[in-house]
Amino acid sequence: MANNKAAVNFDKLLGDESQDFKTVQILDETGQVVNPDIMPDLSDEQLVELMKQMVWSRVLDQRATALNRQGRLGFYAPTAGQEASQLASNFAMNKDDFLFPGYRDVPQLVQHGLPLSQAFLWSRGHIEGNKYPESLKAMPPQIIIGAQYIQAMGVAVGMKKRQSKNAVYVYTGDGGTSQGDFYEGINFAGAFKAPAIFVVQNNGFAISVPREKQTAAVTLAQKGVAAGIPAIQVDGMDPLAVYEVMKEAREFTTAGNGPVLIETLTYRYGPHTLSGDDPTRYRTKETDDIWLKRDPLVRMRRFLTDKGLWSEEQENELIDQVKASIKEAINEADAIPKQKVTDFLKVTFEEQPQNIQEQITEYSAKESN
Amino acid sequence: MAQKTMIQAITNALDLELASDENVLIFGEDVGKNGGVFRATEGLQVKHGEDRVFDTPLAESGIGGLSIGLALEGFRPVPEIQFFGFIFETLDSIAGQMSRTRYRMGGTRNMPITIRAPFGGGVHTPEMHSDNFEGMITQIPGIRVVVPSNPYDAKGLLISAIRSNDPVLYLEHMKLYRSFREEVPDESYTVPLDKAAVTLEGSDVSIITYGAMVREAKKAAENLAKDNISVEIIDLRTIAPLDIKTIIASVEKTGRVVIVQEAQKQAGVGAQVASEISERAVLSLEAPIGRVSAPDTPFPFGQAESTWLPNATDIENKVKEVINF
């Protein structure tokens, strides 16, 4: 006999979960404003600046890839496609806000104040790349996926204790939302009502594993529900939507309302990293083509050109400038002296214990030979 | 001066540091209103406020991240991990993050964090409460591991740990919490990190140990004295990095050595001590290095502790073996 009882309609509960997580969009794929009511309050100069940063990032990605192939850069995680998600979100934040980048979030770090030559040194694996002045409110790119989330939460709790007016912002990818630290980070921040903005850049793949294999959740934004914090999904290929949502999140969180989770729907055109990943093993040309049509640069270029704020000449001139600055930065990185073991020994502890003292003597002798 | 148990000495140290440095923060599971599961933080929240001494959600990894973030904001975090067996949940924050932050950032940032955690056998705890996992962290560069064996050292070492600008894992042996009292000055004082103590001077054999085994070594030494065997006891106190000079000076004097740890034989600290001695003082040795440690199984079921944990008799026997070699 069938059981006709139904205390709970699980089918309905399953279907309802994503209802509150519609995607915020302002600029469509053709550069048309589809949501004028929520247009960000940006001046013409600011709009142009945001476009410049996105173009800078695209050129940087192309040049970094080439420099990696030539062996002039080391670890590199491509960013092309994610310019709106990365640069427009960063554009909404202040210099005194604290940035916790993942390993793909170097563009934000440089725009936040890290000299490009240091970003290159980080890529190569040189200690000078990670020497941050006190004024740079950021940590180096985090390799352990999720760790940046719990640490960002800690800074946010500290800011609250200091009665700071600033916020913390931190990035991870879609795969990262499966980590325990992802959940612990947003949950602690919620419990402490700390000023943090947690960004999930959902680019569809964690190396070869598609987003659907990470979770049965219909959106990643809805994971905010588990922490009891507000969350929203945004078109991550739309710089205006990303900016506006991030800006509003900053206002909300710095007003003492607790953290926010933002999911940006985005894509990376390149491989996972340049350390041997081949995206043709897991991605189709059809998928690539869909996302190429959504290119954030294409729609922003159209939008600004229609407003008379952007031209091909302007962009070409900018590209030349960016290439020149990259060349300069790589030359600066080349000029940095080679690393010595004694440099490392001296910064492992503030007060050197016996083993370190002994090894400093030992390696100093080797280095003076 | 007052007679204090080790846990009272710890509470006293925390109280003094909270009072002397406004950046000191104490947090963890049940450390606030409840005063800690062992009363180590008893009365501190009432005295110093909820902003300074507070409870966290039940997640060790989150506590680790919270510590790191607070350190980046200029605080001096003193988090608690309720039992050291729960350390695996936050191993990345300790081994992968805070221990390497100063190095990773070329000395431009530091992590003045003191992680307090109870551990150690002999009190019939449930699983994963008493395990001696300290050797795991002693293998991580950039962090100190401190294990006090008595109330006086517990206070002075904890104050030093909190004042250190580098991370310290401060392990509190549960069996030592209330098992004896000792004169402890009321005022603030420090016991230096990275420095072993010669707990007992002797001439025939060096016992190198730490934590609860210091008491067992003392018991053994008393018995051995009856047989005219003069034992020198070195209490390592900081088990990583090691105070090699004190160890070697003692071994060169006595010519014989027994290393004693509560942890399993394969678990690290004793092997490192043995290796240092063989590298530096092998020509002073009259006999092979003796080691007393627990068997290489996981920590025992509660009722089997007494047959599993090393004790004074094991030490006595090993010393005689080394003496009669």
pLDDT in tens, B134-145: 999 999 999 999
Percent share of chain A, pLDDT over 90: 92
Whether A98 sits inside 8 A of B241 (CB atoms) is no
Residues in chain A with CB shorter than 8 Å from the CB of B75 are 158, 161
pLDDT tens for A57-82 read 999 999 999 999 999 999 999 999 99
Chain A residues within 8 Å of chain B (Cβ atoms): 98, 127-128, 130-134, 139-140, 144, 147, 149-159, 161-162, 168, 180-181, 184-185, 187-188, 191, 343-344, 346-351, 353-356
Cα B92 to Cα A108, A127, A180, B137, B239: the distances in Å are: 25, 21, 12, 11, 21
- Confirm whether A132 is a catalytic residue: no
Nearest CA distance, A198 vs chain B (angstrom): 15
How confident is residue A17, by pLDDT bands cut at 50, 70 and 90? Answer: low
Q: Which of B140, B133, B176, B225 is nearest to B4 (CA)?
A: B176
Whether A131 sits inside 8 A of B144 (CB atoms) is no
Chain A residue with minimal CA distance to B98?
A: A151
Residues in chain B with CB shorter than 8 Å from the CB of A226 are none
Contact B66, A150 (CB under 8 A): yes
How confident is residue A331, by pLDDT bands cut at 50, 70 and 90? Answer: very high
Q: Which of A196, A302, A154 is nearest to A239 (CA)?
A: A302
- Confirm whether B48 is a catalytic residue: no
Chain B residues within 8 Å of chain A (Cβ atoms): 25, 51, 56-57, 59, 61-62, 64-75, 92-93, 96-97, 102-110, 141-142, 144, 164-166, 194, 238, 241-245
Whether A159 sits inside 8 A of B64 (CB atoms) is no
Residue B102 — φ and ψ, nearest 5°?
A: -60, -45
Question: Would you state the pLDDT for residue A7?
Answer: 84
Mean pLDDT calculated for residue range B91-108 = 98
Question: Would you state the pLDDT for residue A2?
Answer: 59
Of B59, B166, B243, the CB nearest to A184: B59
Residue with the two structure tokens 């990095």: B241
The yes-or-no verdict on residue A1 having pLDDT over 60 is: no
Chain length of chain B: 325
- The answer, as to whether pTM is greater than 0.90, is yes
Q: What is the rounded distance in angstroms from the CA atom of residue A182 to the CA atom of residue A223?
A: 10
Of B57, B69, B96, the CB nearest to A191: B57
Question: Would you state the pLDDT for residue A337?
Answer: 97
For the record, the structure tokens of B248 come out as 């070697």
Substitution target in A98, A157, A360 with the highest count of B β-carbons within 10 Å is A157
Question: Would you state the pLDDT for residue B1?
Answer: 73
Contact B143, B169 (CB under 8 A): yes
What is the average pLDDT score of chain B?
A: 97
pLDDT tens for B283-305 read 999 999 999 999 999 999 999 99
Cα-based angle A52, A55, A56 (whole degrees, multiple of 5) = 80
Residues 6+ away with beta carbon under 8 Å from A1: none
Residues 6+ away with beta carbon under 8 Å from B260: B207, B208, B209, B213, B216, B217, B270, B291, B292, B293, B310, B315, B318
Question: Would you state the pLDDT for residue A5?
Answer: 80
Residues in chain B with CB shorter than 8 Å from the CB of A343 are 106
Catalytic residue among A269, A282, A302, A363: A282
Does ipTM top 0.85?
A: yes
Whether B104 sits inside 8 A of A187 (CB atoms) is no
Substitution target in A149, A150, A183 with the highest count of B β-carbons within 10 Å is A150
Question: Would you state the pLDDT for residue A14?
Answer: 73
Question: Would you state the pLDDT for residue B297?
Answer: 98
Of A147, A347, A356, the CB nearest to B96: A147
